[in-house]
Amino acid sequence: MNKTAIAALAAAAMSPMAQAVDFKLGDTNLTLGGYIKVDAMYSRFSEGSVAQGSARDFYVPGAIPVAGAAGGSSSYFDMHAKETRLFLKTDTVVDGYKLGSYIEADFIVNPGAGNERVTNAYNVGLRRAYITIDNFLVGQDWSTFQNLVALPETLDFVAFPTDGTPFVRQPLVRYTVGGFDVSIENPETTVTSAAGAQVATDQNTMPDASARYRFEAGGAQFSVASVVRQLKQDGAGSDIGYGLSFAGKIPLGRDDIRFTVSGGDGIGRYIAINTVNDAAVDASGDLEAFSAYAAFLAYRHMWSDKWRSTATVSMLRADHDVALTGDTVTESVNSASLNLLYSPVPKLTLGVEYRHAEREVESGADGNLDRLQVAAKYAF
């Protein structure tokens, strides 16, 4: 199999769009696709029990119990098909305008009243829904602050090494010209209380603003992104949050390296699925933003035409003022994963993945997660 065919195989395994069905309805082009994915996971938490749900369905760094949690170590075996995904995309030209739409849903972001006793039924959950008008996108999509080109091929639902990357889907208005994207996006401030609890304020009066520049160099793809945001809580005034992110994908023959490095003040909501928060209220009653930094590095190796592996290392660091937050908030997370994937045909991927993660809070207490995941995915 030549390099072009190998690249197509890998892309097909990662993206449901690669296997989509195209058809025409009047003047509108429609693309329908998605995938079915079944996961089986054995998880061991070293320092406490974890309820069935998100933290056992996929990797949630902030949910790793640390020393002192009730129950000692715990182990679980879980199976589900909740990640199964569907999308519909349209494109048409009306009076000289290029109009489009996209809607995407799965069954893991909104489990609802589903249970494992009888039905294992779960609700459909909205992931993305937007319209496009020429160079404008209006609706819910991935934040401009992140770069999907750096997406490594993992079995975990989040797909990125969760603790090392920006990861946000939210309503936004984005304008794209060439490799430059600029957007205003839905704001939300997360504040850490004096007891270490998360408070989502939803009291912002200004949208978040993000800009990204995408470029290529010698076959490699890169992006530099920024975000500036208002942090606000009634009674505590406001502060400014800002961050930068650099991401890329570098081909090495049939293999590639992918990475993202991000950091800033008051951007906790944007990185590591909000493992740390944006700010806390200081002694004067004003908001004080925290610094946070995250990074990952992934290497994908093609063993043969049908076999491949991705190894990742990832980290998160936060700088809290424990006088304001207490010492139970997350100070650092580190993780590593390794998988082996097999695609007998481009539409089908079978794989196994091992992940080890460590979380430490400001008091020094820590805990580990070890997870073995086996999955089967069919894209259509």
As beta bridge partners, residue 339 has 353
pTM of whole model > 0.75?
A: yes
pLDDT of residue 19: 56
Average pLDDT over residues 268-291: 95
What would the mean pLDDT of 109-129 be, rounded to a whole number? 87
pLDDT digits (tens, 9 = 90+) for 185-210: 999 999 999 999 999 998 999 999 99
Cα 296 to Cα 58, 64, 135, 186: the distances in Å are 18, 19, 31, 26
% of the chain at pLDDT higher than 90:
83
Cα-only R_g, the chain: 21
Least confident of 22-26, 36-40, 333-337, 347-351: 22-26
pLDDT value of position 7: 39
Burial class of residue 71 in the structure, from the number of CB atoms within 10 Å of its CB (0-12 exposed, 13-18 middle, 19+ buried): exposed
For residue 283, report the phi and psi dihedrals to the nearest 5 degrees. Answer: -65, -20
Predicted confidence (pLDDT) at residue 93 exceeds the cutoff of 90: yes
> What tens digit of pLDDT does each residue of 310-325 get?
999 999 999 999 999 9
148-162: string of b/e by CB count within 10 Å (b at 16+)? ebbbbbbbbbbbbbb
Q: What pLDDT does 211 receive?
A: 98
The predicted-structure confidence for 27-71, as pLDDT tens digits, reads as follows: 999 999 999 999 999 999 999 999 988 899 999 999 999 998 777
Mean pLDDT over 343-352 rounds to: 96
Specify the range with the lowest mean pLDDT, choosing from 101-115, 122-136, 315-329: 101-115
Cα 272 from Cα 91, distance rounded (Å): 33
For residues 192 and 329, the answer to whether their CB atoms sit within 8 Å is yes
pLDDT at 327 over 60: yes
Q: Give the list of residues 6+ apart from residue 278 with CB closer than 8 angstroms, or none.
A: 189, 190, 191, 231, 241, 266, 267, 268, 269, 289, 290
Q: Which of 353, 356, 288 is nearest to 324 (CA)?
A: 288
* pLDDT at residue 63, as a whole number: 96
Q: How confident is the model at residue 306 (pLDDT cuts 50, 70, 90)?
A: very high
Q: Taking residues 161-181, report their average pLDDT.
A: 97
- Distance from C-alpha of 161 to C-alpha of 370, rounded to nearest angstrom: 14
Paired residues of 24 in beta bridges: 29
Residue 264 has pLDDT above 60, yes or no: yes
Asked if residues 350 and 335 have their Cβ atoms less than 8 Å apart, the reply is no
Of residues 210 and 115, the one with the higher pLDDT is: 210
Q: Tell how far CA 209 is from the center of its chain.
A: 19
Residue 5 has pLDDT above 70, yes or no: no
